[in-house]
Amino acid sequence: MGQDATDVIERARALLDPALRCVLDRLDPADRRIARYHLGFADREGAPSSAGSGKLIRGVLALLSAEAVLGDEEAAAEAALPAAVGIELVHQYSLLHDDIIDNDTERRHRPAAWTVFGQPATILAGDALAALAIECAFGDLDEATAGGRDGDGMTAGTSETPPTAGAVARALAVATRRMVAGQAADVSFERAAEVRLDACLAMVADKTGALLACAASVGAIAAGGSPEVIDGLAAFGRHVGLAFQLVDDLIGLWGTAEETGKPVGSDIESRKMSLPVVAALQAGIAGADDSAAWHAQRLAAIYAEEAELSAVQVAGALAAIEGAGGRAWAEDEAAAQTDAALAILHDLPIHDAVRRDLIAVTNMLCRRTG
Amino acid sequence: MGQDATDVIERARALLDPALRCVLDRLDPADRRIARYHLGFADREGAPSSAGSGKLIRGVLALLSAEAVLGDEEAAAEAALPAAVGIELVHQYSLLHDDIIDNDTERRHRPAAWTVFGQPATILAGDALAALAIECAFGDLDEATAGGRDGDGMTAGTSETPPTAGAVARALAVATRRMVAGQAADVSFERAAEVRLDACLAMVADKTGALLACAASVGAIAAGGSPEVIDGLAAFGRHVGLAFQLVDDLIGLWGTAEETGKPVGSDIESRKMSLPVVAALQAGIAGADDSAAWHAQRLAAIYAEEAELSAVQVAGALAAIEGAGGRAWAEDEAAAQTDAALAILHDLPIHDAVRRDLIAVTNMLCRRTG
């Protein structure tokens, strides 16, 4: 405990990675193959792969939130590993569907699952992971202890369910629905004539914030934490989610291909309405100073182009976002959300060593630029 | 109690219909609009519609399974209405995704939701209904009693949760994953060189049987029934599911447009590998008598046609399925599955009036032809 963020994450990943591999074995062959590819455990032929499943940050936060209540790493894993795997599966299922919805062909420097296995099979693999996530809440991490595929499994194992399992399942379902509501709002924005910044922030609070709020508190739920600690950690996670999304949007615009996993300029080329862009466009609507308004109009004109954008136009759009104040606003807002997250942590009655771990992880997630 | 099937269904529908309308109000506007259209509560503009949500047979079975334990209709509704709404939402979400996966443009004589609202928004509406189904397990039927959209909802209402809520949620998740596994197997069959009848029956046991097994037992779980009754009702439901699918496949081939909701011959035109077709093709593989094998080869040749089929070819395929014994096999198997379902019911320690209701509903669902 109390180590730097990389150590904290690696320690949690060492628990999460094998548990995720194990739980995927419960899927039917067709869904399992796609899930294993998507999580980087296998290549498209099903052979073992070292592509890696990402930082598993939601699972890491879930384990830390249990440790915040119990003060002991081993007891936290015992109480909350199924919940941590569950929240990570919700995130992974949302990525499978998101890539179809956004027509994104790459994920973590590899072809997106739907480009390999087709849209029908990938929609179903996402559906399977969503259901498996709820089963995880009940501690069903491997085939031997769970309903499995024989019989109807209606009563299997119910008696061994931990007492907090229902609350964990409910929290996962509530967070999933808010996440989906955010994604649905995001899709509806694509057809909207104008997207206001407050609507866009509400969308991000649902799309990214709800799942991180759940991640940062679901381990505490599993560990039987008090409502004060659970609600405090959820509020902490929501602020982390907003800061994380703002930083992600900034990197999406000004990051390298290495950092984003996609070609430089692709967010502009796809006319993505990310937060810095919406903030910049609003400068034209809100009657900011003349220079900012001029930049906002220039940005709007580039976004309205029907044709593919040239490199010069992409660079012009980036300069316009900056000139209209979108970049500075996003940087300030990310810092404010990070500060709000840390202020909540500061006051929560949790174990100090875990508080330090959570601070380290927060700073790593939310202060990635500059 | 003890009335004919139509009365039994109408009585349950009178509870289910308003509860479903109420729970949809908890969705965000984008997902709600699609869900209300899909369930026939609204037209594409959102105006009230009398299109109707179908027979809601899964919700009906869930309510009856609670009544089987409690012997009282009002107590059954009190204990199991949220579970009944939950199982119905799982079914409705699967239809939203299924129509995308199968590229079906019509559902209940209306344009399928994805043709109206687009695939991205419809995938998300399905995801939202799947999460809402799990929330229902916890008795969250209206906004006022549930986490809602304010705050993170991590601890909201947990204390009022009924003691069987966790078991209901788990049963819904297990059944959902088996249903999805069946759908995934179905999709994989489309690319397979040969589909064996036993694999096809296993697929249907997952795709249709798992959700009906859950529907027929989840009310008993909510009502605190014994493992004997719960498992018995689940086994009953699985047999009903298989019989129902066999009858559905037969109607899909030989029914009128009125009965199927789609043009006559469309299952043949789309080369659907339904159970009677697979059974007929197997007659060619399995070395049945010469006449059956000849019909099987004729059917295989028509199914292998790359071009659109003529009316004569469609009629030829239907005659070949019959000639190869596929129709008779499916009719016999449907009768056998129905008998097996009724035999289980006969021996279960449940209230006799509800047993009669379940028998009436079973006969209505499984003996629709002839």
Helix H, strand E, coil C: the string for chain A is CCCCHHHHHHHHHHHHHHHHHHHHCCCCHHHHHHHHHHCCCECCCCCECCCCCCCCHHHHHHHHHHHHHHCCHHHHHHHHHHHHHHHHHHHHHHHHHHHHHCCCCEECCEECHHHHHCHHHHHHHHHHHHHHHHHHHCCCCCHHHCCCCCCCCCCCCHHHCCCCHHHHHHHHHHHHHHHHHHHHHHHHHCCCCCCCHHHHHHHHHHHHHHHHHHHHHHHHHHCCCCHHHHHHHHHHHHHHHHHHHHHHHHHHHHCCHHHHCCCCCHHHHCCCCCHHHHHHHHHHHCCCCHHHHHHHHHHHHHHHCCCCCCHHHHHHHHHHHHHCCHHHHHHHHHHHHHHHHHHHHHHCCCCHHHHHHHHHHHHHHHCCCC
- Each residue's pLDDT tens digit, A193-205: 788 999 999 999 9
Which residues in chain B are closer than 8 Å to A205, comparing Cβ atoms?
none
Which residues in chain A are closer than 8 Å to B227, comparing Cβ atoms?
155
Burial class of residue A68, CB neighbours in 10 A (0-12, 13-18, 19+): buried
Whether B231 and chain A come into contact, CB under 8 Å, resolves to yes
Q: pLDDT value at position B1?
A: 43
| Number of CB atoms found within 10 A of residue A108's CB | 14
Q: pLDDT value at position B95?
A: 97
How far does chain B reach from its first CA to its final CA, in angstroms?
27
Tell me how close the Cα of B110 comes to any Cα of chain A, in angstroms. Answer: 22
Tell me how close the Cα of A49 comes to any Cα of chain B, in angstroms. Answer: 23
Contact A277, A321 (CB under 8 A): yes
Does A166 have pLDDT greater than 50? yes
The two tokens of residue A57 are 């940050």
Does B3 have pLDDT greater than 60? no
Look at the block and give the residue holding tokens 């947990």: B158
Strand, coil or helix: what is B106? Answer: strand
Which residues in chain B are closer than 8 Å to A180, comparing Cβ atoms?
31, 124, 127-128, 131
Q: How far is CA A150 from the centre of its chain?
A: 34
> Cβ–Cβ of B128/A161 closer than 8 Å?
no
Q: How many Cα atoms sit within 13 Å of B238 on the Cβ side?
A: 20
> Cβ–Cβ of B154/A221 closer than 8 Å?
yes
Interface test with B, best of A123, A143, A168, A231 (most B CBs within 10 A): A123
Q: How confident is the model at residue A266 (pLDDT cuts 50, 70, 90)?
A: confident
Question: String of b and e for B192-210 (b: at least 16 CB within 10 Å)?
Answer: eeebebeebbbbbbbbbbb
Whether A341 and chain B come into contact, CB under 8 Å, resolves to no
The two tokens of residue A125 are 């693999």
Q: pLDDT value at position B86?
A: 98
Residues of B numbered 20-39 whose beta carbons fall under 8 angstroms of chain A's beta carbons: which are they? Answer: 27-28, 30-31
Tell me how close the Cα of A227 comes to any Cα of chain B, in angstroms. Answer: 7
Q: pLDDT value at position A330?
A: 96
Whether A46 and chain B come into contact, CB under 8 Å, resolves to no
Q: pLDDT value at position B54?
A: 81
Whether A100 and chain B come into contact, CB under 8 Å, resolves to yes
Average pLDDT, integer, range A100-104: 93
> Cβ–Cβ of B181/A128 closer than 8 Å?
yes
> Cβ–Cβ of A181/B31 closer than 8 Å?
yes
Name the most confidently modeled range: A52-56, A92-96, A257-261: A92-96
Does B156 have pLDDT greater than 90? no
Q: How confident is the model at residue A172 (pLDDT cuts 50, 70, 90)?
A: very high
Average pLDDT, integer, range A2-12: 85
Q: How confident is the model at residue A287 (pLDDT cuts 50, 70, 90)?
A: low
Q: How far is CA B222 from CA A28, A292, B167, B228, in A?
A: 28, 60, 8, 14
Whether A109 and chain B come into contact, CB under 8 Å, resolves to no
Whether A359 and chain B come into contact, CB under 8 Å, resolves to no
What lies within 8 Å, CB to CB, of A301 at 6+ separation is none
Does A207 have pLDDT greater than 60? yes
Q: At B331, which amino acid appears?
A: E
Which residues in chain A are closer than 8 Å to B165, comparing Cβ atoms?
166, 170
Which residues in chain A are closer than 8 Å to B171, comparing Cβ atoms?
153-154
Q: pLDDT value at position A285?
A: 67
Q: Please tell me the distance from the alpha carbon of residue B365 to that of residue B328, in angstroms, as a whole number.
A: 19
Q: At B322, which amino acid appears?
A: E
Which residues in chain B are closer than 8 Å to A188, comparing Cβ atoms?
30, 121
Q: Which of B125, B176, B213 lies nearest to residue A152, judging by beta carbons?
A: B213
Strand, coil or helix: what is B110? Answer: strand
Tell me how close the Cα of A34 comes to any Cα of chain B, in angstroms. Answer: 11
- Each residue's pLDDT tens digit, B89-120: 999 999 999 999 999 898 888 999 999 999 99
- Which range among A184-198, B278-292, B314-328 shows the weakest confidence by mean pLDDT? B278-292
Higher pLDDT, A70 or A147: A70
- Which range among A304-313, B65-74, B258-267 shows the weakest confidence by mean pLDDT? B258-267
Chain B residue with CA closest to A179: the answer is: B128
Q: pLDDT value at position B28?
A: 97
Chain B residue with CA closest to A214: the answer is: B154
Q: pLDDT value at position A288?
A: 64
- Each residue's pLDDT tens digit, B170-196: 999 999 999 999 999 999 988 787 889
Question: String of b and e for B114-140 (b: at least 16 CB within 10 Å)?
Answer: bbbbebbbbbbbbbbbbbbbbbbbbbb
Q: Please tell me the distance from the alpha carbon of residue B133 to that of residue B36, in angstroms, as a whole number.
A: 15
Contact B183, B98 (CB under 8 A): yes
Higher pLDDT, B233 or A141: B233
> Cβ–Cβ of A28/B181 closer than 8 Å?
yes
Average pLDDT, integer, range A264-291: 85
Give the global pTM: 0.93
Does A262 have pLDDT greater than 90? no
Contact B340, B214 (CB under 8 A): no
The two tokens of residue B159 are 């204390």
Whether B310 and chain A come into contact, CB under 8 Å, resolves to no
Whether A135 and chain B come into contact, CB under 8 Å, resolves to yes
Chain A residue with CA closest to B160: the answer is: A167
What lies within 8 Å, CB to CB, of A288 at 6+ separation is A296, A324, A325
Does B2 have pLDDT greater than 50? no
- Each residue's pLDDT tens digit, B11-43: 999 999 999 999 999 999 999 999 999 999 999
The two tokens of residue A89 are 């599966």
Average pLDDT, integer, range A213-238: 98
Which residues in chain A are closer than 8 Å to B235, comparing Cβ atoms?
152
B295: which DSSP letter? H
Contact B33, B130 (CB under 8 A): no
Tell me how close the Cα of A284 comes to any Cα of chain B, in angstroms. Answer: 28
Q: How confident is the model at residue A279 (pLDDT cuts 50, 70, 90)?
A: very high
The Cα angle at residue B162 between residues B158 and B165, in degrees rounded to 5: 85
> Cβ–Cβ of B30/A181 closer than 8 Å?
yes
Does A78 have pLDDT greater than 90? yes
B276: which DSSP letter? H
Could you write out the DSSP letters of every residue in B161-210? Answer: --TTHHHHHHHHHHHHHHHHHHHHHHHHHTT-S---HHHHHHHHIIIIIH
As for the ipTM of the complex, it is 0.92
Higher pLDDT, A159 or B21: B21
Q: How many Cα atoms sit within 13 Å of A10 on the Cβ side?
A: 5
Which residues in chain A are closer than 8 Å to B270, comparing Cβ atoms?
none
Which residues in chain A are closer than 8 Å to B230, comparing Cβ atoms?
154-155
Per cent of chain A over pLDDT 70 is: 92
Q: How confident is the model at residue B144 (pLDDT cuts 50, 70, 90)?
A: very low
Interface test with A, best of B134, B187, B204 (most A CBs within 10 A): B134
The two tokens of residue B129 are 């209904």
Higher pLDDT, B36 or B2: B36
Q: pLDDT value at position B370?
A: 40
> Cβ–Cβ of A178/B149 closer than 8 Å?
yes
Q: Which of B120, B155, B187 lies nearest to residue A227, judging by beta carbons?
A: B155
> Cβ–Cβ of B154/A132 closer than 8 Å?
no
Contact A253, A232 (CB under 8 A): no
Nearest in space to A13 (alpha carbons), one of A79, A73, A48, A59: A59
Average pLDDT, integer, range A301-311: 92
Burial class of residue A343, CB neighbours in 10 A (0-12, 13-18, 19+): exposed
Q: Which of A119, A135, A237 lies nearest to residue B170, judging by beta carbons?
A: A135
Does A227 have pLDDT greater than 60? yes
Interface test with A, best of B138, B154, B183, B226 (most A CBs within 10 A): B154
Which residues in chain A are closer than 8 Å to B27, comparing Cβ atoms?
177, 181
Q: Please tell me the distance from the alpha carbon of residue A57 to that of residue A129, in angstroms, as a whole number.
A: 18
Q: Please tell me the distance from the alpha carbon of residue B61 to that of residue B221, in angstroms, as a whole number.
A: 13
Looking only at the bridges linking them, the beta strands covering A110-111 and A106-107 are: antiparallel
Q: How confident is the model at residue B78 (pLDDT cuts 50, 70, 90)?
A: very high
Q: Which of A31, A101, A217 lies nearest to residue B181, judging by beta carbons?
A: A31
Tell me how close the Cα of B133 comes to any Cα of chain A, in angstroms. Answer: 9
Q: Please tell me the distance from the alpha carbon of residue B34 to that of residue A355, in angstroms, as a whole number.
A: 43
Could you write out the DSSP letters of every residue in B133-162? Answer: HHHHHTT--SGGGS--SSS--SSTTGGG--
List, in sequence order, the alpha helices (H) in chain B. Answer: 5-24, 29-38, 57-70, 73-101, 113-117, 119-137, 165-189, 197-204, 210-222, 227-254, 257-260, 266-269, 275-285, 290-304, 311-323, 326-347, 352-366
Q: Please tell me the distance from the alpha carbon of residue B176 to that of residue B281, in angstroms, as a whole number.
A: 30
Q: Please tell me the distance from the alpha carbon of residue A303 to that of residue A309, in angstroms, as a whole number.
A: 9
Contact A23, A85 (CB under 8 A): yes
In DSSP terms, B106 is beta-bridged to: B111
Per cent of chain B over pLDDT 90 is: 78
Q: Please tell me the distance from the alpha carbon of residue A235 to that of residue A214, in angstroms, as a whole number.
A: 9
- Each residue's pLDDT tens digit, A332-366: 999 999 999 999 999 999 999 999 999 999 999 99
Whether B183 and chain A come into contact, CB under 8 Å, resolves to yes
Does A155 have pLDDT greater than 60? no
Does A65 have pLDDT greater than 90? yes
Whether A227 and chain B come into contact, CB under 8 Å, resolves to yes
Nearest in space to B128 (alpha carbons), one of A124, A208, A182: A182
Which residues in chain B are closer than 8 Å to A31, comparing Cβ atoms?
180-181, 184
Burial class of residue A223, CB neighbours in 10 A (0-12, 13-18, 19+): buried
Tell me how close the Cα of B323 comes to any Cα of chain A, in angstroms. Answer: 34
Q: Please tell me the distance from the alpha carbon of residue A178 to that of residue A168, in angstroms, as a whole number.
A: 16
Nearest in space to A177 (alpha carbons), one of B319, B131, B351: B131
> Cβ–Cβ of A127/B132 closer than 8 Å?
no
Average pLDDT, integer, range A233-262: 92
Higher pLDDT, B267 or A152: B267
Nearest in space to A119 (alpha carbons), one of A105, A130, A134: A105
> Cβ–Cβ of A135/B174 closer than 8 Å?
yes
